[in-house]
Chains A and B, each alone.
Chain A
Amino acid sequence: MKKRVKKIAGLLMAATMVVSLAAGCGAGTESDSAETTSGEKTSGDGKEIVFWNIGTEEVDKAIYDKAIDLYNSTTDSGYTVTSVPTQNDTYKEKLIIAMSSGECPDMYLSWSGGPMNEYIKSGYAQPITDLFNKSELPDRLMDAAIAQAKYKDDIYAVPFMNVSLSGIYYNKDLFAEHGLEVPKTIGELEKVCDTFVENGITPFALANSTKWTGSMYFMNLAARKGGLEPFNDAVAGTGTFEDESFIYAGEKIAEWTEKGYFPEGVNSLSEDDGQARQLLYQEKAAMDLIGSWYTGLIQQDSEEFYEKMGWFPFPALEGSDADPSIMIGTIGDNFISFNCKDEKLAAAFDCATKFSEEEIVDFMVESGKTPPIKGIEKKITDPISKLVVEAANSASATQLWYDQYLPPAVAQVHLDTSQELFGLTMKPDEAAKQMQEAMKEYLEESAE
């Protein structure tokens, strides 16, 4: 007994020593034997370019791998690109942790708007205007997509992946069954909703514990009421979030909630867990205002059910001057930012252009994506995607999601208050006031 204890203790001591030695001297040998060669660096040495992205799941991963392989096999620059995928929810945190330690990958995925501006202001994104203008990209990419990659007067990122616009997916069968037509105005939409409520069907499948899902209703309603100026003015500090269009959006949401347009317990349903799609699939709900990535998602879930789906843009508001062609969303939902210089930057940029190369674009379209490429409508055969691209092309302007466009601190307030509107725990004017206060505080602090 005693001997055994001694033996175990000895073993433990030995183990402690070995590990602390390994930790102290650096376990270089370990990472050498690892399968990938990315090694210990967030940014690659010499001829290696490290590319952080979120392609962990099958379809996206294949797209990244294909584009990067294409670059690595055709380039004569001597550089190779290594892909480092991290899951979306943890990706942003990981990026912040790396950057806060002064580390930054050579290429990384970002989103347009508030967070991208923070990266730029902090010096982790290099302007690529010259490279961009000399390349084929201005001819290839949609202008609206390029506009989103701009900060002040420079271009900082290459848009790719998906045209994601918010619009309403609806169940054609259910519409036909109840003799309904696609609504052209908000008034007509409300009539459609009333019919569904009377027949025991929830009009909108909304899962709002995720918050940004409900925000889409707010943004669309506000844009149909007053166009984009109220928002732009409020952000610039010349206007206010207490403008009538935001109050209108808040009031409509409260009214629709009371009328039962949203599922019961809307704030506890989770979009991430697929609870909104569940309502659609069970035919308990007839419509869903959501980003156009739903096309790919539903197709992957069930081709058969997808046949039932139709799509229309958020309808116009009667008696409002606001341009009803305005769309809410993002033209290219992912962007590639760069943090390297000179020759390496040129190589990394070259790799980013591969994502709009014919071969890759075809593959993306096959996988249910709508890359932000000019003339993409000619490649697309899917009827809903065609409608989405048409809407994108004919839109007089595209408003990026508030929660992405706004400075992150203000964006969070927007998400929280709009969720409370759905829960009827906050009055529209109260929500507007909180938003305005947060915006004012941000503007004051950044003016210092």
Chain B
Amino acid sequence: MNAITLRSRVCRIVAVIFGIFWTVISLLPFLFMGLNSFKEKFEMMTKGVFALPDGFYLENYKAVFQGNFFRFFFNSVVVLAVSLLILLFIAACASYPLSRFKFKLASPIYALIVACMSIPIHITLIPVFKMSKNMGIYDSIWALIGPYIATAIPISVFILTSFMREIPKEIEEAAQIDGCSRYATFFRVMLPLSKPGLATLAIYNGVNMWNEFSFAYTLTQSSANRTLPLAVWEFQGQYSMNMPMIMSVLTLTVIPMILLFIFAQDKLVKGMTAGAVKG
């Protein structure tokens, strides 16, 4: 009995140490990003990136806010919101039959989608540029939505399909016995039960879209249509960049994502399934 409590205590200590260690590791780069955004350029270069700032030098942030930052921010929010909503909805639609229906084509289609996860993004740039031109949406934020959704589809369908497979069959069957059609089952049972999976996807794809770079500069050209990741351009020249300034842009870019995560992680609470069975 004593041996067991000792062992569990050791386990607990190991867990706590590991937790603290990981917290430090995750946080340090973020902290330094924030700290360097309060430095003057020459100060950062002479004293090093890892020294504390001499004082709170706010000029960087002032300069960022005087630029086009809010315009970029607004563009990013619109693109993110529209792309993410559509993506989650259509990915859930596609994952439902792939995980639940028994039909011959299910596994080839699934395999095809998995295969599409492996395309390198750079091969899509030229064709997508051409198409956006032809559609007349080049140099508008609407050009970004299509590629953002499409490139996220394979991984999203893959994750959601494997997630839906793990939802107990009984729940779905009960709904069908109650007389729900497939469509109704999807909306009333599968979609609510997939919330943790959808939240994972929202977080993952949200971050990717927020930081996406390649399509953003390929498909837009005027500064009014740029998104946040391109905001750093104003501080990058041909031979050098103003790092503290870039750090302040990047810090401001991360904060909304942290807030979004705090909101979304709420959906990842244990016991969703149990709750749904009861409700």
Task: Check if B138 is an interface residue, CB within 8 A of chain A.
Answer: yes
For residue B46, which residue of chain A has the nearest CB? A281
Of B164-172, B184-192, B265-273, the one contacting chain A is B184-192
Known contacts A15-B85, A273-B243; is A1 also within 8 Å of B237 by CB?
Answer: no
**Chain A residues near B141 (CB-CB < 8 A):** 30
The answer to whether B82 and A301 touch across the interface, beta carbons within 8 angstroms, is no
- B57 to chain A minimum Cβ distance, whole angstroms, is 15
**Chain B residues near A86 (CB-CB < 8 A):** 217, 221, 233
The answer to whether A16 and B45 touch across the interface, beta carbons within 8 angstroms, is no
> Which residues of B (216-246) have their CB < 8 Å from a CB of A?
217-218, 221-225, 230, 232-243
Of B123-131, B151-159, B248-256, the one contacting chain A is B123-131
Give complex CA distance A30, B132 in Å: 14
The answer to whether A19 and B217 touch across the interface, beta carbons within 8 angstroms, is no
- B219 to chain A minimum Cβ distance, whole angstroms, is 10
- A282 to chain B minimum Cβ distance, whole angstroms, is 6
The answer to whether A56 and B139 touch across the interface, beta carbons within 8 angstroms, is no
Count B interface residues, CB 8 Å. Answer: 50
Cβ 8 A contact of A35, one of B48, B126, B138, B224: B224
**Chain B residues near A75 (CB-CB < 8 A):** none
Task: Check if A88 is an interface residue, CB within 8 A of chain B.
Answer: yes
The answer to whether B145 and A2 touch across the interface, beta carbons within 8 angstroms, is no
Known contacts A1-B279, A54-B238, A97-B125; is A22 also within 8 Å of B85 by CB?
Answer: no
Task: Check if A131 is an interface residue, CB within 8 A of chain B.
Answer: no
- B277 to chain A minimum Cβ distance, whole angstroms, is 14
Give complex CA distance A84, B220 in Å: 10
- B62 to chain A minimum Cβ distance, whole angstroms, is 14
The answer to whether A1 and B42 touch across the interface, beta carbons within 8 angstroms, is no
**Chain A residues near B82 (CB-CB < 8 A):** 15, 19
For residue A15, which residue of chain B has the nearest CB? B85
Count A interface residues, CB 8 Å. Answer: 62
**Chain B residues near A97 (CB-CB < 8 A):** 125-126, 129, 218
Give complex CA distance A12, B138 in Å: 25
Give complex CA distance A123, B60 in Å: 44
Cβ 8 A contact of B135, one of A9, A23, A302: A23
> Which residues of B (63-83) have their CB < 8 Å from a CB of A?
82
- B181 to chain A minimum Cβ distance, whole angstroms, is 13
The answer to whether B188 and A58 touch across the interface, beta carbons within 8 angstroms, is no
The answer to whether B192 and A5 touch across the interface, beta carbons within 8 angstroms, is yes
**Chain A residues near B187 (CB-CB < 8 A):** 2, 5-6, 9
Task: Check if A199 is an interface residue, CB within 8 A of chain B.
Answer: no
> Which residues of A (351-381) have their CB < 8 Å from a CB of B?
none
- B92 to chain A minimum Cβ distance, whole angstroms, is 10
Known contacts A19-B82, A56-B237; is A28 also within 8 Å of B136 by CB?
Answer: yes
Task: Check if A194 is an interface residue, CB within 8 A of chain B.
Answer: no
Known contacts A27-B137, A56-B233, A281-B45; is A100 also within 8 Å of B126 by CB?
Answer: yes
The answer to whether A23 and B217 touch across the interface, beta carbons within 8 angstroms, is no
Cβ proximity bits B78-110 to A, threshold 8 Å, 1 near / 0 not: 000010011001100000000000000000000
Of A36-44, A178-186, A338-346, A405-413, the one contacting chain B is A36-44
The answer to whether A40 and B239 touch across the interface, beta carbons within 8 angstroms, is no
Enumerate chain B interface residues (CB-CB to A < 8 A).
41-42, 45-46, 48, 82, 85-86, 89-90, 125-126, 129-130, 133, 135-142, 145-146, 187-188, 191-192, 217-218, 221-225, 230, 232-243, 279
Top 8 A-B residue pairs of the complex, sorted by shortest distance between their CB atoms = A26-B136, A57-B237, A36-B222, A35-B224, A12-B89, A56-B233, A34-B224, A87-B233
Add 6 more A-B contacts to A88-B237, A94-B218 (CB < 8 A): A23-B137, A34-B224, A36-B223, A36-B224, A61-B234, A87-B217
Enumerate chain A interface residues (CB-CB to B < 8 A).
1-2, 5-6, 9, 12-13, 15-16, 19, 22-24, 26-28, 30-31, 34-36, 38-40, 42, 54, 56-61, 84-90, 93-94, 97-98, 100-101, 103, 272-274, 277-278, 281-282, 291, 293, 297, 300-302, 305, 333-334
